[in-house]
Amino acid sequence: MILSSDFCLLASDNGFSLLELVMTIIILSFISLILIPLFKSVTSGGDPVIRARGVALGQALMDEIMNKKWDENTPMGGGPLNTTESSRGSDAAGAIGPEPGETRPDYDDVDDYDGLFEQDSFKDQNDTSFALMGYSRKAEVTYIPSDTAVITATSPAGSRAATAATDTKRVTVTVTMPNGESFSLVSLKCNY
């Protein structure tokens, strides 16, 4: 036989108190604060891969460019400071860009790469093609003043000829990725 006081105790064990309900809501809120960012990072998990491919694409081109000579007159491995493109040479207004008739496998100095633009289909220095859909890369080579600490171009953007040749060239490789992000790698090539 169940007494009425025992029945009340049994009946109250079947439900939640207001305090238990509030604690459950608070705990679930904290869990959601952890799970929502985790879910967002999982659903956009391709971003690190996209960025890594973009960085590799830009770095490959930058490495290729920086391994080339200063100009046409510079011997492989470096050479004299007195070349026709240098401010120390006889022609202080050297031209930037590939020589007439020169194609990518023939590029032999840094400034040949100025204006190079590739999108979706890319080539390496051996003229081997590979595809990365949605990516593009662009190279720009400009002279910078040798006597200042500021690394700014002396020629206007898009210009093929420098306004004043110096002993330092700035190489900029800009990569645009499928998600619309872009970044630039910048290096200096000095004439020494």
Average pLDDT, stretch 1-6? 53
Count CB neighbours of 124 within 10 A: 13
Q: Band of the pLDDT at 89, cuts 50, 70, 90?
A: very low
pLDDT bucket at 44, cuts 50 / 70 / 90: low
Q: What is the pLDDT of residue 78?
A: 63
Of the candidates 102, 104, 112, 97, the residue with the CA atom closest to the CA atom of residue 128: 104
pLDDT in tens, 7-29: 555 555 677 788 989 999 999 99
The residue type found at 31 is: I
CB 96, CB 77: distance < 8 Å: no
Q: What is the pTM of this model?
A: 0.64
pLDDT higher at 189 or 1? 189
| Nearest alpha carbon to residue 85 among 94, 76, 98, 75 | 94
Determine the pLDDT at residue 95: 67
